[in-house]
Structure 1
Amino acid sequence: MPVLNSIAALQPEMQEWRRWLHRNPELQFDLPRTSGFVAGKLREFGIGEIHEGIATSGIVAIIEGQGDGPTIGLRADMDALPIKEASGAEYSSETSGRMHACGHDGHTAMLLGAAKYLADTRNFKGRVALIFQPAEEGGGGGNVMVQEGIMDRFDISQIYGIHNAPNFAEGEFFTTPGPIMAAVDTFHIDITGKGGHGAMPHDTKDPIVAALGIGQAIQTIVSRNHYALDELVVSITQIHTGTADNIIPGTAYIEGTVRTFDPAVQDMVERRLGQIVTGQAAAYDVDATCRYERGYPATINDAEKAAFAASVAADVVGEDKVTPDARKEMGAEDFSYMLNVRPGAYLFLGAGDGPVLHHPEYDFNDAIAPIGASFFARMVETAQPL
């Protein structure tokens, strides 16, 4: 079955909603205009059960079907990023330094489109829980919603989410059973030496030399401490030190990211980082500490639900446009917290050529919104048929 005709007819409205959201980006949990807009649309659709203020600005809306049955959860993220937009679109961000650079405006519009269709037709048993989530970008809003009890409170039995994927074929779906996105951790290294004149290094304890040594040694974690065929990324992403060409500074700071799928690998990386920092500090006669923060866990699809989701996607776009066993991604997602407590699946929807996610020139492709909305709607009707 192709894109639902009534949802295809909603494309101009979904585009209007999405572009309003794009012009009005908000960050993390502070989403008063965004959540207000979403709640207003849900009321316009005739949805009477709307729960606001979950995880500060999240929303769960319930649509009752026809007859008794379980509750299926559909999730969209709503927050933007602290990036100055450079897309040149006429509907560009009206708030300097903030933009929807990851397509959460599009995800929200897709779920709103599905909501309107489902509220109009109610061609399913049981209930659907529409989850509009804040703070995916670093705040762990998905975890907060779980901790606030949405799964038990609304008796959600399974859950699904979509993310747009630039530079994958427009309208094609990708998913996989088991791990699909990595766990993400962050490390912070503080180095304290003794500053001095750049012409007299013998009177200093140079933290820059130590930082370079630590940075080089960290690269051996992947190349020498880890089995080459297992997935692991360790990347240094920030080094801050120094103020002038003739001053050796007293301190240096290193920050980076770790991406894994196996908790044992996380443990190994944390242990080796500590050992390397301690050893290199002694070698360069400086003091150094390493702080390791565990972030979002790996996003792990339930195998049965991933196969089911792929079959529903094939009903919408055709079997030849669905990859049910795609490669894992080393990016991270806080939808992982929801999949930790309920079976379900996460899918990518190809958005066609364009700037990558988190790029200042990125813009969501409005043409794929009816496809995503149709997937959400068909998922409900297929999982809980009359």
Structure 2
Amino acid sequence: MPPKDNAFAPGFPSNADIAALTEWRRDLHRHPELSGEEAETAKRVVEMLSPTKPDRVLAGLGGHGIAAVYEAAEDGPSILLRCELDALPIEELGDVPYRSEVQGKAHLCGHDGHMAILAGVARWLGANRPVRGRAILLFQPAEEDGAGAAKVIADPRFAEITPDYALSLHNMPGLRFGHAALEPGAMACASRGMKITLTGRTAHASQPETGLSPVPAMSRLMPLLTGLGTGGVPSDPDFSLVTVTHARVGEPAFGVAPGQAELWVTLRTQNDAGMDALVARAEAAVGAAAIEAGLQHAISYHDVFRHCDNDAEATQLLASALEAENIPTEPGKLPMRASEDFGRFGDVSKSAMMLLGSGTDCAALHNPDYDFPDSLIAIGARVFVQCLRQRLF
């Protein structure tokens, strides 16, 4: 392990680096693209990577993903650093001069900042090739809907670069600026969207008894499903939460009693085993309510996220880097309730993810006035470079 003298790259990132990375991040912020639509964002990434001269660039990985590979002549481990390409379908209400130029879409989770952090690592690797093994910078598509990691891993070309270690970070409002949350074990909850359709028969609004309305069943199901959650804290292995996110009954017409209803709920558990049990209970409740009301029903699942678990060795790799950078860690912050597509990389490598504090006065993730703090770019880049130095230099 290299000495923890905090002088691995004097002046990195330089003022010029910081200015360029900040400008690039803000350009990404102006041009957000949703999950699966990140074609122009991917082009910007490839253009940014070009001056760093990676040995290989895999474009179109699992969709619009980009993997840049920096090889060493000597055998050694492969370390993958991952960030996300996609934005959110939310209208930005902040007043920053670089606010989103795309109506109804915005980088309100900080993926633009995560990309800038990896861009900083790429600039460093352009001047500092690994001595052994290889560094892989992955710009992953479709994180927000939970589809991207699975598609990247399923891409046949990923087998050529399957890493020994996969590392990631996410900025976190509410955590003190520049502080970190990192622990082995459960890191982020499993979740999935459950879409329920109830079908009966329409009727004239003056004669509702001649139809079969889903309203009574829908009214019972909303509190019944939310009541399946055990509550508590995510550190409890039995933690679960059911949240109603959308409901629609019939058509917007005063003359028609409804014949169909749609209910969307999000199921959330600390781990995948708990999710299997919660799904079974929720499906049984929906089926029973539909049968009792004489309705047909259908269930489909969307935005499926596995739970995210931090491997002990990969966690120590990140912990040593944080120590080298004198970054404090705050205990008791994990696992977080939110879900992370990164968990799937644990199937193919030793993986770990940390949270990097955006500050206690920063708007929450997915809020319409959220904006990634540019001053985190240099901190995140240095942490990741420290990880690479421990094993590849």
TM-score under structure 1 length normalisation: 0.91
C-alpha contact (below 8 Å) 2:249/2:262 kept by paired residues: yes
Residues 140-289 of structure 1: pairs in structure 2 closer than 5 A:
140-149=147-156, 151-198=158-205, 200-223=207-230, 230-242=238-250, 243-244=252-253, 247-289=256-298
Structure 1 CA distance for aligned equivalents of residues 202 and 162 of structure 2: 60
Q: Find 2:42's aligned residue among 35, 49, 53.
A: 35
The structural deviation recorded for 1:221 is 1.9
Structure 1 CA distance for aligned equivalents of residues 27 and 204 of structure 2: 55
Note the alpha carbon deviations across 1:254-286, whole angstroms, 9 max, x for none. Answer: 111111233332222222222212222233343
2:124 corresponds in structure 1 to: 117
Structure 2 CA distance for aligned equivalents of residues 221 and 117 of structure 1: 49
The structural deviation recorded for 1:146 is 0.7
Paired residue type of 1:251: Q
Report whether the alignment pairs 1:137 with 2:135: no
Runs of 4+ in 1 over 6 A off after TM superposition: none
2:113 corresponds in structure 1 to: 106
2:94 corresponds in structure 1 to: 87
The structural deviation recorded for 1:150 is 5.0
Runs of 5+ in structure 1 lacking a partner?
none
C-alpha contact (below 8 Å) 1:7/1:114 kept by paired residues: no
C-alpha contact (below 8 Å) 2:162/2:349 kept by paired residues: no
1:360 corresponds in structure 2 to: 368
C-alpha contact (below 8 Å) 1:66/1:122 kept by paired residues: no
Moved more, 289-298 or 263-272: 289-298
Residues 294-309 of structure 1: pairs in structure 2 closer than 5 A:
295-309=304-318
C-alpha contact (below 8 Å) 2:146/2:305 kept by paired residues: no
Paired residue type of 1:105: D
2:12 corresponds in structure 1 to: 6
Cα distance 1:30–1:202, how it changes in 2: closer, same or farther (>3 A)?
closer
Note the alpha carbon deviations across 1:3-28, whole angstroms, 9 max, x for none. Answer: 95311532111101100111111222
The structural deviation recorded for 1:165 is 0.7
Structure 1 CA distance for aligned equivalents of residues 385 and 378 of structure 2: 10
Q: How many residues end up aligned between the 2 structures?
A: 380
Runs of 5+ in structure 2 lacking a partner?
none
Cα distance 1:123–1:267, how it changes in 2: closer, same or farther (>3 A)?
closer
The structural deviation recorded for 1:111 is 0.3
| C-alpha RMSD of the superposition | 2.3
Structure 2 CA distance for aligned equivalents of residues 48 and 161 of structure 1: 22
Structure 1 CA distance for aligned equivalents of residues 213 and 289 of structure 2: 12
Report whether the alignment pairs 1:381 with 2:386: no
Structure 2 CA distance for aligned equivalents of residues 374 and 203 of structure 1: 69
Cα distance 1:223–1:347, how it changes in 2: closer, same or farther (>3 A)?
closer
The structural deviation recorded for 1:31 is 2.1
2:59 corresponds in structure 1 to: 52
Sequence identity, in percent? Answer: 31
Moved more, 283-292 or 339-348: 283-292
C-alpha contact (below 8 Å) 2:172/2:356 kept by paired residues: yes
